[in-house]
Amino acid sequence: MRIETIRASGGRPSHIRHDDLISAKGVSVTLTRQLVLQNIDLAIPKGSFVSLIGPSGCGKSTLLKVLAGLVAPTSGNVSIAGLSPVEATRKRMIGLVFQEANLLPWKNAVDNASMLLGIADKSLSRADLRARGQEMLELVGLGDSAHKRPHELSGGMRQRVAIARALALDPAVLLMDEPFGALDAITRDQMGQSLLEIWQRTGKTIVLVTHSIDEAIHLSRHVHVLGIKPGRITESLDIDLPYPRDLSVTEDPKFVRLVVQLRTMLRASHQPGGAS
């Protein structure tokens, strides 16, 4: 299923399907009298992997918070499977992963992984919660580290626990805000590949905020470029590379051409109020 019909050279969508899991129409956000996002139109089908990329301060994280129901749009509408983001969150349809893992230091990995589920569903026993936490740790490749506390884990391992914590809710949508930004380059590559494998195994719909051109192209089916002052979608790019993908895809000439194309789009997005 395609998210949109997009010009071969990139550009704004000319058609949006009506059967998308995530839909944002005409979304604008004003915070402290400043227009942060303007007229965002976004449509993401179930099971897609989409990246948001753009200059610092263009509103990528704000847009992610709007999709999560943490920030209300000043105008426009957002729906997750036909529900408001707030209602979708109540129904445990949305999982969030941030740049910082924010694990509780006194809890071990399995208890951190099941913590949000325990808050969301008070009917579950401790044994049930631990079983779910262990299952998610296995999924992210940390099954043998269930007993370890955060200070015993590397940065990449802590982020894996944070991903397991979000997945324990069994959300339809996983929203990720620069989850690998604080990691070294090699660990970041490994985490990206791990996330890609998790996505392929679970079929979740993933929206990733990133500053990395390579990461966006390696992981995504579609990349949306945001411009600044105000934040708005200036370009949308279809990543026509076959799955499954591993790091060898970065050596593909088509990958290199996409990097050049996306870099050109990003340069244009740095111009305040540039053409959309």
pLDDT reading at 217 higher than 70: yes
pLDDT-derived band at 273, boundaries 50, 70, 90: low
Interval 94-119 mean pLDDT? 96
**Domains identified in the chain and CATH numbers:** 4-93+172-269 (3.40.50.300), 100-170 (no CATH)
pLDDT-derived band at 17, boundaries 50, 70, 90: low
pLDDT reading at 23 higher than 90: yes
Q: What is the pLDDT of residues 131-189, one digit of tens each?
A: 999 999 999 999 999 999 999 999 999 999 999 999 999 999 999 999 998 899 999 99
pLDDT reading at 72 higher than 60: yes
Closest CA to 234 of 52, 36, 29, 80: 52
pLDDT-derived band at 14, boundaries 50, 70, 90: very low
User: Higher pLDDT residue, 200 or 20?
Assistant: 200
pLDDT-derived band at 8, boundaries 50, 70, 90: very low
Q: What is the pLDDT of residue 163?
A: 97
176 Cβ partners below 8 Å, 6+ apart? 96, 97, 195, 206, 207, 208, 209
* Structure tokens that stand for 59 in this block: 């509103």
- Between 11-15, 28-32, 149-153, the lowest mean confidence (pLDDT) is in 11-15
Q: What is the pLDDT of residue 272?
A: 75
Strand pairing partners for 95?
174
Interval 64-79 mean pLDDT? 96
Q: What is the pLDDT of residue 19?
A: 65
What is the rounded distance in angstroms from the CA atom of residue 142 to the CA atom of residue 18? 39
Q: Letter for the amino acid at 223? A: V
Number of H helices, E strands in the chain: 8, 11
pLDDT reading at 115 higher than 60: yes
CA 97 from chain centre, in angstroms, equals 8
- Residue pair 131/211 in contact (Cβ under 8 Å)? The answer is no
Q: What is the pLDDT of residue 11?
A: 39
Sheet holding 173-177, edge to edge: 94-97, 173-177, 205-209, 49-53, 222-227, 232-238
Q: What is the pLDDT of residue 195?
A: 95
Interval 101-121 mean pLDDT? 96
Interval 184-196 mean pLDDT? 93
